Amino acid sequence: MDKNICFLNSNNDSGLLAFGGGEMRSLQNGGAIDQLSEFLDKHKGQYVFLCLSYDLKNEIENLSSKNTDLSSFPDLVMWKPECVVDIKKNALEVVQGEDNPHNLGFASEFLKDHKHSTQGKQNINFEARITKEVYLKKVKELKDHIQRGDIYEINFCQEYFAQNVENEIINDFYFNINNTTKAPFSSYFKFGDFEIFCGSPERFIQKNQGRLIAQPIKGTAPRARNPSEDKALKQLLKQDPKERAENIMIVDLMRNDLSKIAKKQSVQVDALCEIHSFETVHQMISTVSCVPKENLSFTDVLKATFPMGSMTGAPKYRAMVLIEAFEDFKRGLYSGSIGYISPNGDFDFNVVIRTMIYNARLKTLSCSVGSAITINSIPEKEYEECGHKIQKIIDGICR
């Protein structure tokens, strides 16, 4: 099928599959948030799927993105799909579009064909855009900023990049990555020149039953095959003072962001520094929630909370200024968000990490990775953490 497809996969036999035609807009270079409001008003009461680029920050704050862009991803993608199928325990229900054998058949075949994908791995040469030496130097310089009090924490990222990647060899990339990560905010999005293969474990923000919920991740430890060793790694992460400090700083940032749009005294921390185990890593996750003020629009929520604190730092604005100064690539969709708005106005959006982005026109494949830098960061260990995160994704598709 040569039309748009989006699969939001919770990896618990549930998710949403959107496909077919329907109005889609890709926007760049200003005015995107205003057009998003118009698009959502036009399609109120319908499912709308969105890709939110990190660089939407420039419309929320007085910022810019001038670093090298080798992926050319739009600032915003908006889509009102022709057909949406709700998946619950492998039962399929058409919730938008025609409930006919063709649509149900496509959804069934899509899930069946790819659930047990055995596509062979490819020989793709990924290169880091910066050397280890440059990375270590930049982390030390960022720590100098922290020492001076400019920031408390910053998410510093680097891009791995492959060129001359032919379209025919990326078949089943998403499903191979998903089989590696089995993450709860996994997604696949195909439109125009782009395909996105996302194995994200992190929720950005959700609206459900009158409450906004954010679940920032800060703190990572590898998994081990030996159960006792794996349990020990999990316990070390839970007790690690640096990782807890990172997480708590972002929790405070999210509390502040939500307080801008919350009813008085409704912001609360539902879970602090809990350890969740995924296929490839243990993660430290907190949950912050609030009751939003009356008559808030989705763009009101976006302006208050985007980009997410876990991918920027604290204070957020100053961290984003330094991110632009120290990183050497335009983030684009990486550390942005993919998600949907439902007909009743509820929504759910992930954080785009553990992700590959393919541009068929340019034949490029991008995979970025980062970690939180604090005063207690050891540059070598931050480099190792990035390597561990990205290698698990690359191993999912490469020989």
Q: What superfamily in CATH does domain 4-119+129-395 come from?
A: Anthranilate synthase (3.60.120.10)
pLDDT digit string, tens, across residues 221-275: 888 999 999 999 999 999 999 899 999 999 999 999 999 999 999 999 999 999 9
Q: What are the beta bridge partners of residue 208?
A: 211
What pLDDT score was predicted for residue 392? 81
66 C-beta neighbours (distance < 10 Å), count = 7
Position 155 scores a pLDDT of 97
- Tell me if residue 136 falls in helix, strand or coil: helix
Nearest to 309 by CA among 69, 62, 54, 63: 54
Task: Determine the pLDDT at residue 114.
Answer: 67
Q: What is the pLDDT of residues 63-122, one digit of tens each?
A: 999 999 999 999 999 999 999 999 998 799 999 999 999 999 999 998 886 666 555 667
* pLDDT at residue number 257: 97
- Per-residue confidence (pLDDT) for residue 115, from 0 to 100: 67
Cβ(64)–Cβ(73) below 8 Å: no
Domain boundaries, the chain: 4-119+129-395
Q: Consecutive sets of 10 residues in the chain, 399 residues long: mean pLDDT of each?
A: 86 95 92 95 98 97 94 96 93 96 93 66 87 98 97 97 89 83 94 95 96 94 92 94 92 97 97 93 95 96 97 97 98 98 98 96 96 94 91 78
Q: How far is CA 371 from CA 17, 74, 217, in A?
A: 31, 24, 11
CA distances from 58 to 52, 309, 315, 332 (A): 12, 16, 16, 12
Q: Characterise 164 by phi-psi region: left (phi > 0), alpha (psi -120 to 50), beta (else).
A: left
